[in-house]
Structure 1
Amino acid sequence: MVNASVNLETHNMLALMLLLFCGILPHSTHATNNTTLLQDQSDDWSMIMEVEVEDPNAADIKQKKLAKVGLDATPCGDILCLNRAKCLMAADKHGPYKCVCQIGFSGTHCEQTNSGFRFPKIEEGGYLKFIFPFGQDLASSALMDINVFHIGFEIKPDLTNGRRLIVYHRSKRDERSFMLNLELGHLVFRFTEPILLPQEADSSNVIDELRHSQPLIASSQWYSVEFGRQTDGRLYLSLNKNIVKGDESKAFKKAWPQRPKSRTRDPKEEDIFIGGHSNLELLRTQDPYFGRYLEENFVGCIQHIYINGEFMDPRRRSFVGDAVEGYGLTDCAHGICDQNRCKNNGTCAIISGSSFECQCPMGTKGLNCQNREELHMLQYTGRSYTEYFGFKGTSQSNMMLLITFKPVSPNGLLLYQGYSHDRRGDFLTVLLVQSHIEVQFDLGSGTANLRSPSVLMMNTWHTVRFWLNGRQGFLVVDNEDQVTTAFSYGPLVQLTLDQHMFIGSHPDADLTSAHLNDYLRKVGGGNVPGFHGCIQQLQLNGQSVDLLRDALRGVNMENCLGHPCARPDTTCMHSSHCRPEGEDFTCVCFLGYVGKKCDTPISTTRLNRPSFGRRSILRYGSPDVITKLNMPHFDIYLDIRLRSTKLRTVTHPNFWNGEQMGRRFQTLLACLTTADDRLLIGIDEQGSTHLFIDRQTVPWFKQIHGSLEEAGSNQTSEKGWEGNDGPKKLVLSVNMWHKMMLKRRGNTYLLFVNGTKIGVERSDRLGYGKLSYNMLSIGNVNANHQGVETKPKRGSFSTQSPDVLFVGFNGCIENLHINGRQLSTAEATSGESIAEC
């Protein structure tokens, strides 16, 4: 439809209504070229047609396929407003008409959908409506009696003329009302409630008013606004931290006794309007107290809305947002990132209605990610995170995690991993809340929450351990004797996770579990509050995660400069690795160097009796060794001397009786395959030697009546420790030499100690004819620099049982042979922390 003259207004309106009845969207010179997306309320009243409309102002005639129009369309002058939009008439009734779109829609006709705006701009005729939250702090009866409330936000007004409504609330329960106006550039806060005047049976209302002297200038800057009622009954109004308080003698509580109020509060009856009102014109005549102060709605940007300590998300979507109604909203942050000024593949992230920050990839830093920095030990800034596979793609009833960190701030997210992007399903998170550790998990039928009783000291290293056994979770912080435990609700007993694991924060609160809403409201301001501090260790199911090498990506990471390991070149010599141990460190020396700082060279050709510790390992991967490992028959022989069978205690709750226990094995020898399957010789704390087959492609070991069996449905013919000839149990004496031999005969593996057969294992999967061995490890299993086994590839940590862990061999070896050929220390492909025995 073309623009009509005033004389043809009636004719055009009839034509418009006819088009509406037929389901045809009239063409307008105001229309955009964006894709049309409309709500379809009734298929009976909608149709799609190809129409050709002539516009005398256009250079040509075009055909355009028009969308469905339903009964939610509203005629508005010479245009049509769709999707329940409102029609805004110019103040002088002679100017152009305008569609005021409801929240979630935009465009000249409100024909486009949008996902909502975190930083909305309220246009003429616009507003936001929320349910008035009372907050946890207002739950006590004392505070309810005096109706304490606090509201805060930031605004950037476009217009300051006249009287413009910013906040309006009227309680249907007790007729308590308040409003915040912008009047001729100044903030005015008014409050009223029913009171009993002395010697009067009926109630009356007294209006109290606070006016701030500081003016607001249109479109110049953001203003921080706070107002409310204190516990002493006094009103207050703050603009940019400049506070004005009401007269103490006028505090309602102290001046008059209050009308008794019901303790029951129905949230559905308590609404609060921000930026305007749904029917401002009607309110002018019906509000007996504030009606004369109501003229127009606020026009401008608003952000960071808090009501009674809870953040209000100004969006309304299926799984996010707190707004229950809204009109006339646009994006205050539109175009901020159109010109990305971030360098080195940094990404622009909008953080307010007028500002952005560059999210710098790991190894870069600076305001625009313009500087390079080599990372050695990670520090999280509160706006940074790292991402890992974690438990992705797993469904477990038993799992364990350990994290060692030094916090600078009392609040922040340490770890999060979820199931889906729609805020539903299983999740696991570790939070720092007011200096307490909280662990939350959901198996799909209800959330469990564990909170540590102790308060963590800032700038101090702490270790958190969490175990999951079915529906029950266990939490231990540092070396506390007390174990915090809780159960999840419902019958489900497996934690199923399909998202990546995030450490330090999460890039998008919309993709976290809805059960985190309370935490995000109180602490995060709509974003995930990031952890601020350093992290030096993360273990998942007993396997250590290399926070740097295993990271899929990271944002805004820095070095933990207060720790010696953040300067490894000056702390550990000869490219050795610096391993943090709280505030201290240990240098993990490469083969050929020893000493506190790995500054003393040793000759590997003369190293006939290598000494091993928890972080020691020798790897043999030469073609000759690999060929011999993959022959149908091999004999591996070596002499060993145990320094100790005792291992550093790492306890966890016994899932059957609540006691503390741990199962650990020293790794003497491991044959590894390309698929990460492993054949291992382990020594327990009693000095008994065991032969293991560890298949990484199926669930690993489970605990059954104190013995180890292979779990999973894809079991082969392994039979634990049993063999045809009845292997005997033999205990190794400490500080004495023992002879060890591993024999392979086809797919049968036999272990002998001092000439006595100890174990027999048979596998139709490992080695010859199936999978190929590619490494012989002595003293450890793919040890990382922390001396705990780690998988050589990045992937989910799903295969290790939380109650079984392999650690480094503590002792000496000599006379290592394979098929009669001696392997010297100098022939090792690589090694760490090897000294002379």
Structure 2
Amino acid sequence: MEFRPEAWDGVLLLAGERDDLQGDFMALILHHGFIEFRFDCGSGVGTVRSTETVKLNEWNTLSVYRHRWDAWIQLNQEKRVEGRSKAAAIAPPVQHVTLQLHTCNWRILASQFQGLFSRITFREPLFVGGPGNTTGLERLPVRTGFKGCIRHLEANEHHYRFPLAPQGDAANGFDVEECTADRCSKVPCSHGGKCLTTGGDTAVCLCPLGYTGDLCETRVDLQVPSFNGSSYLRYPGLADTSLSWLELSVTLKPTAPDGVILYNGHHSDATGDFIALYLSSGHVQFTFDLGTGPATLRSENPVRLGEWVEVRVSRTGRLASLEVEEDPAQEILAPGAFTQLSLPLNLYLGGAPSSDMYSPKMKTTASFVGCIQTIVLNNREMGILAEALGGVNVGNCGHACEARPCGDAECRPLRERFTCRCRPGVPHPCPAPDDYTRLVPPPIRASSNAVTSVRYERAVPSFTGSESYLHYNDADTMKRHARYNENV
């Protein structure tokens, strides 16, 4: 089988002895992004599961083989992984299935394939791409149909043709469309960009950080990130750093009324704990779940599109509050008795690779459109670009910092304005390097007419009251400070 998944879960192939999945059956499913081959010869379910997830929006191939109680899976022409059930001494006749399917490595689950029977009896139709009218799906961990394309299916040396009979082999089907994934062959994304098919006959490139353009052909010097509805930045998750409390401040300029600003979850199937900050119909909303049900805060007034706004979220245990600019703070108490929040998955800003990653308890799954300038998390300002593990389709917001007005100093955006964070020994407001050198008389021993260029140094520092500071950590300074405290 060759397939191109667009979601982490779904039934790829299903056949059984009865339409309620009682008795013998065979199923090939996607579960949390992993491929699982499950079958029951009449004495218990055996399962083979990949150790890595499939590649979303890319073609995957896989081979599965079963002979009596033995099974093996070969992936990408790699070494076969074999498993054997606790078979009986009397061997029934041979029956096997061969499929082709490419992803990663595989392992056999501990239970293996137990029992005395080795045949699988199929009396029901073979369903491809979904469970069809099969009931009893509680025997499987996935009950939804496959989302994506399947372009090759071969079983027991028979190549299945997908059109309906008489042109093909399919007896009937429902809600199946023509696959348009191959249109990416006409969209040559450059600089490591990935092609993603969209509705209709279009496809777009998902560009890595530092590149933009229809084909990711333009390099950009990112300063203040902007998001276009297909963008996101990825960071390490909060994990256990926000178990009992969370302080979050985000400065953003939205240009669309709906979109996910920030999301961090617990499970890849969108269950369990999560936090989500997003826009819904122009209102800022914060939803979180401690494991006993969601709680949602909503701003009193909608934000003004195209204007900078600061959003502040605070959570202590079950109690959370939301403030947007000068609007009154909104508070809520989460249901249940749990008070801690665990978020081991990656944190996403501006969107995510797939909307399936979001909790269904959110009011929107659209990606954010606009600019995000600063994030302060638990009283620490994040380096939005410097700390990102990766991202796609992130551009510049159109801010003054893009012109690098601070020279080699750090340009810190303050909504439409900016300030320069100067290096120690550089006079405020951080002139260009050539402007803060001075000429000093050479030593007497130097040759005539010689001058020496040195860095500007302040004997008496001046502080601006906002962004300026000096930091000491050398041993001599700390010893002097300690001795002074002892004498006070």
Normalising by structure 1, report the TM-score.
0.38
Supply the distance in 2 between the matched residues of 1:549 and 1:578 (Cα, whole angstroms).
14
Query: Residue type matched to 1:40 in 2?
Result: D
Question: Do the aligned residues in 2 keep the contact of 1:577 with 1:588 (CA within 8 Å)?
Answer: yes
Within-5 A mapping of 1:337-736: 337=184, 341-352=188-199, 354-480=201-327, 482-516=328-362, 519-520=363-364, 528-561=365-398, 563-568=399-404, 572-596=405-429, 598=431, 601=436, 607-612=458-463, 613-619=465-471, 625=474, 628=476, 635-636=479-480
Supply the distance in 1 between the matched residues of 2:472 and 2:144 (Cα, whole angstroms).
60
Q: Please, which runs of 5 or more residues in structure 1 have no aligned partner?
A: 1-16, 18-22, 26-34, 52-62, 75-80, 86-100, 106-112, 126-157, 159-277, 279-296, 298-325, 521-527, 637-740, 744-749, 757-837
Supply the distance in 2 between the matched residues of 1:499 and 1:411 (Cα, whole angstroms).
23
Instruction: Name the CA shift for 1:44/1:369 in 2 (closer, same or farther; >3 Å).
Output: closer
- Which residue is equivalent to 2:8? none
Match of 2:130 among 87, 100, 103: 103
Instruction: Name the CA shift for 1:583/1:489 in 2 (closer, same or farther; >3 Å).
Output: same
Within-5 A mapping of 1:748-759: 751=485, 755-756=487-488
CA drift of 1:337 comes to 4.5
CA drift of 1:381 comes to 0.9
Question: Do the aligned residues in 2 keep the contact of 1:332 with 1:353 (CA within 8 Å)?
Answer: no
Per-residue CA deviations over 1:175-203 (Å, capped at 9, x if unaligned) read: xxxxxxxxxxxxxxxxxxxxxxxxxxxxx
> What is the CA RMSD across the aligned residues, in angstroms?
3.9
CA drift of 1:333 comes to 3.4
Instruction: Name the CA shift for 1:36/1:407 in 2 (closer, same or farther; >3 Å).
Output: closer
Query: Residue type matched to 2:123 in 1?
Result: A
Supply the distance in 2 between the matched residues of 1:386 and 1:24 (Cα, whole angstroms).
43
Supply the distance in 2 between the matched residues of 1:442 and 1:457 (Cα, whole angstroms).
28
Instruction: Name the CA shift for 1:751/1:69 in 2 (closer, same or farther; >3 Å).
Output: farther
Query: Residue type matched to 2:40 in 1?
Result: D
Supply the distance in 2 between the matched residues of 1:424 and 1:444 (Cα, whole angstroms).
9
CA drift of 1:341 comes to 2.0
Supply the distance in 2 between the matched residues of 1:64 and 1:355 (Cα, whole angstroms).
48
- Which residue is equivalent to 1:8? none
CA drift of 1:489 comes to 1.0
Instruction: Name the CA shift for 1:102/1:465 in 2 (closer, same or farther; >3 Å).
Output: closer
Number of positions where the alignment pairs a residue of Structure 1 with one of Structure 2: 355
Question: Do the aligned residues in 2 keep the contact of 1:376 with 1:567 (CA within 8 Å)?
Answer: no
CA drift of 1:591 comes to 3.5
Per-residue CA deviations over 1:350-391 (Å, capped at 9, x if unaligned) read: 323643221101111111212211111111111101111251
Question: Do the aligned residues in 1 keep the contact of 2:352 with 2:367 (CA within 8 Å)?
Answer: yes
The 3-state SS of whatever aligns with 2:40 is coil
CA drift of 1:459 comes to 0.9
Query: Residue type matched to 1:73 in 2?
Result: R
Within-5 A mapping of 1:69-88: 70-74=120-124, 81-82=125-126, 85=127
Query: Residue type matched to 1:117 in 2?
Result: K
Normalising by structure 2, report the TM-score.
0.63
Instruction: Name the CA shift for 1:64/1:537 in 2 (closer, same or farther; >3 Å).
Output: farther
Supply the distance in 2 between the matched residues of 1:576 and 1:467 (Cα, whole angstroms).
32
Question: Do the aligned residues in 2 keep the contact of 1:50 with 1:65 (CA within 8 Å)?
Answer: no
Query: Residue type matched to 2:400 in 1?
Result: P
Question: Do the aligned residues in 2 keep the contact of 1:120 with 1:329 (CA within 8 Å)?
Answer: no
The 3-state SS of whatever aligns with 1:485 is strand
Q: Please, which runs of 5 or more residues in structure 2 have no aligned partner?
A: 1-16, 18-23, 27-34, 47-65, 71-92, 98-117, 133-142, 152-161, 439-454
Question: Do the aligned residues in 1 keep the contact of 2:205 with 2:215 (CA within 8 Å)?
Answer: yes
Question: Do the aligned residues in 2 keep the contact of 1:418 with 1:497 (CA within 8 Å)?
Answer: yes
- Which residue is equivalent to 2:40? 40
Query: Residue type matched to 2:413 in 1?
Result: P
Per-residue CA deviations over 1:298-321 (Å, capped at 9, x if unaligned) read: xxxxxxxxxxxxxxxxxxxxxxxx
Per-residue CA deviations over 1:696-717 (Å, capped at 9, x if unaligned) read: xxxxxxxxxxxxxxxxxxxxxx
Question: Do the aligned residues in 2 keep the contact of 1:422 with 1:511 (CA within 8 Å)?
Answer: yes
CA drift of 1:42 comes to 4.0
Instruction: Name the CA shift for 1:465/1:38 in 2 (closer, same or farther; >3 Å).
Output: closer
Percent of aligned positions with the same letter in both sequences? 28
Question: Do the aligned residues in 2 keep the contact of 1:102 with 1:328 (CA within 8 Å)?
Answer: no
Question: Do the aligned residues in 2 keep the contact of 1:103 with 1:328 (CA within 8 Å)?
Answer: no
Query: Residue type matched to 1:557 in 2?
Result: V
CA drift of 1:70 comes to 4.4
- Which residue is equivalent to 2:140? none
Supply the distance in 2 between the matched residues of 1:575 and 1:508 (Cα, whole angstroms).
38
Supply the distance in 2 between the matched residues of 1:489 and 1:40 (Cα, whole angstroms).
42
CA drift of 1:449 comes to 0.3
Supply the distance in 1 between the matched residues of 2:224 and 2:408 (Cα, whole angstroms).
15
Per-residue CA deviations over 1:501-541 (Å, capped at 9, x if unaligned) read: 1111111122222323xx34xxxxxxx31111111110100
* The structure with more radius of gyration: 1
Question: Do the aligned residues in 2 keep the contact of 1:346 with 1:369 (CA within 8 Å)?
Answer: yes
Per-residue CA deviations over 1:388-436 (Å, capped at 9, x if unaligned) read: 1251343511110000001111111110011111211100010111111
Query: Residue type matched to 1:582 in 2?
Result: R
- Which residue is equivalent to 1:742? 482
The 3-state SS of whatever aligns with 1:617 is coil
Question: Do the aligned residues in 2 keep the contact of 1:476 with 1:483 (CA within 8 Å)?
Answer: yes
